[in-house]
Structure 1
Amino acid sequence: MAGTRLGLSIDGNVVTGVSLISRPATICYELLGCSPSEGKFTSLRFSWLKANFEHLPSTANEWEVMQAARAYIMHLIGGVLMPDANGSMVHLMYLPLLSNLHNTCLYSWGFAVLAMLYRELCQATDPSAMDIGGCPILLQSLALYQMPFLASISHQSYIFPLVNR
């Protein structure tokens, strides 16, 4: 339910990916048109995405627009919806899910974000935890709509029902 407040579907195909992609450079060339490296890597740095996709030329064809859209969506996934611990990279496992942009709406992105948020909240119960990862907007939405007592502001003075004067 909270996923729908962000416009993220909670119905549909499960968002999963192969955590180890055997030929990451090939996937990047096929879907983004370029690759940060020829070797093995599992994530894309936001600085690399920005350097390669920040400006779309006015002469861009449909394929180049789709490549830039994939890069932008990867940045949204890693920067807003499912950020990593240091907030500067996005896992490559999400890129194959963007191969057909028309089918991305068939995935349950909201459920994936909720699952990651749940994992982050569980890890935050560790007394040595310094912060919470995941999607803070979703956490705020969840608190506001599912636990309104956390966000309510009352302009009436509180009456203690067990105290009689």
Structure 2
Amino acid sequence: MIECWRPETHTFHLRTSEATITLQDVEVIYGLQIDGQVLYRVEPPDMLAYRQELARLTGFEPLQRDMRGRSRLLRSSLHAHLRLVDLQHPIGEATPQAHVDQRARLYLLIIFGGIMFPNTSGADMSIRYLLFIGDLDQLGCYSWGVVVLAYMYRGFDRASMGERLEVAAFIPLLQIWMWTRLRPFQPIAAHPPNDYVAEDMPYARR
């Protein structure tokens, strides 16, 4: 599909027509808000500010060697911390709400930094999203769908114009969109209809 992508128009140039993922697709497929509050990027002055905010909101204070740059964290360190706290302090009915919220923010960081907004390194993840998960009640008020689509377009652009083998984008969204919108990619049912005809993959014309 990346070979079919054209960054000039942000569309897939297929053999029969052009197609692209829209904001409506993002909202319908994953239920992500597209008309909420605007998400914006604000950089704290230094790396220590991110580490302090991470500790305040999640109870996890990483070592300095686990940080990559100002706002990136080794994914392995976060996963190891989560496995430890889940084992030692499992969530139960008697767990204070503050601890439940801290655990939820850790999992949200994994979802944001590792799934919805990944990078091509595969080893670290951004923790800039701490700025938006302090108040969990407000989490659904932001226009996450707009950011996901813009980030996906940028990932497709970079992959199509360079020699990268990895794509930094919300790939599950692309997969489900292909299954629902492009018939050649749809899974074949165990008992397909009698009139079903398999089609070739619609490669882009060169």
> Is the shorter-chain TM-score for this pair beyond 0.5, marking a shared fold?
yes
Among the aligned pairs, what percent are the same residue? 26
Maintained 8 Å contact 2:120/2:167? no
Aligned length: 157
1:46 to 58, 62, 75: 75
Structure 1 counterpart of 2:12: none
1:24 matched to 2:46? The reply is no
Tell me, in whole angstroms, the C-alpha distance in 1 between the residues paired with 2:123 and 2:103: 18
Structure 1 counterpart of 2:182: 148
Tell me, in whole angstroms, the C-alpha distance in 2 between the residues paired with 1:106 and 1:95: 15
Q: Name segments (4+ residues, structure 1) moved above 4 Å.
A: none
Q: TM-score, normalised by structure 2?
A: 0.66
Is the alpha carbon distance of 1:21 and 1:62 closer, same or farther for their aligned partners in structure 2, counting shifts above 3 Å? farther
Is the alpha carbon distance of 1:118 and 1:150 closer, same or farther for their aligned partners in structure 2, counting shifts above 3 Å? farther
Is the alpha carbon distance of 1:157 and 1:134 closer, same or farther for their aligned partners in structure 2, counting shifts above 3 Å? closer
- Most deviating of 88-97 and 66-75: 88-97
Shift of 1:90: 2.3
Structure 2 counterpart of 1:114: 149
State how 1:94-133 maps to structure 2 within 5 Å.
94-133=129-168
Gaps of 5+ in 2: 1-23, 189-194, 200-206
Q: CA RMSD in A?
A: 2.5
Shift of 1:88: 3.0
- Most deviating of 127-136 and 105-114: 127-136
Tell me, in whole angstroms, the C-alpha distance in 2 between the residues paired with 1:157 and 1:12: 41
Amino acid at match of 1:3: V
Is the alpha carbon distance of 1:87 and 1:19 closer, same or farther for their aligned partners in structure 2, counting shifts above 3 Å? farther
Gaps of 5+ in 1: 159-165
Tell me, in whole angstroms, the C-alpha distance in 2 between the residues paired with 1:65 and 1:83: 25
Amino acid at match of 1:135: F
Maintained 8 Å contact 1:42/1:93? yes
Tell me, in whole angstroms, the C-alpha distance in 1 between the residues paired with 2:144 and 2:61: 25
Tell me, in whole angstroms, the C-alpha distance in 1 between the residues paired with 2:97 and 2:45: 27
Amino acid at match of 1:17: R
- Measured against aligned partners, the alpha-carbon deviations of 1:97-127 in whole angstroms (never above 9, x if no partner) come to 0000010000111111111110011111225
Maintained 8 Å contact 1:21/1:93? no
Tell me, in whole angstroms, the C-alpha distance in 1 between the residues paired with 2:77 and 2:53: 16
